[in-house]
Amino acid sequence: MWQAEHVHDRNVRDTMTAIAEDETRHAALACSVAQWLEPTLDAEARARIDEAVATRMRELTASTMQPPPRALMAAGLLPIAAEAAGLLQALASALSVTRPA
C-alpha cells in the first residue's frame, strides 16, 4: 500500500495498487484462519509461533537499518529509514491485535 501511494510512475502505481488490494485480502484471510485455529493450539505450538513471529520481526527490524537502494527511494518505492521503522511498528501492533493474549 505504501508503494502504491508513493511511487512516481503511474503504471507502476496502478500495478502496486492492484497488488496491495490482493495482498490485503490474503492478509485478512490469514488472520481469520489464525484466529480460527488459535484455540486448537497447545502451549508448545503457540510458543513456536510466537518465536517465529519474533524472529521475523527482528529480521525486518535489522533490514530497516540497512541503507535502501537510492534508485528505489528516488522512484518512491522505498521509504526513508524513519518511515520504514514506523511501518514496522504498525505491523507489530497489527500482529499483536490479531492474536489473542
pLDDT in tens, 69-91: 999 999 999 998 888 889 999 98
CA-CA-CA-CA torsion sign (82, 84, 85, 91): positive
Least confident of 27-31, 49-53, 85-89, 96-100: 96-100
User: pLDDT by residue (tens digit) across 25-41?
Assistant: 999 999 899 999 999 99
Burial 75-96, CB ≥16 within 10 A → b, else e: ebbbbeeeebeeeeeeeeeeee
Q: Is the pLDDT of residue 98 over 70?
A: no
Q: Is the pLDDT of residue 101 over 70?
A: no
- Read off the pTM: 0.75
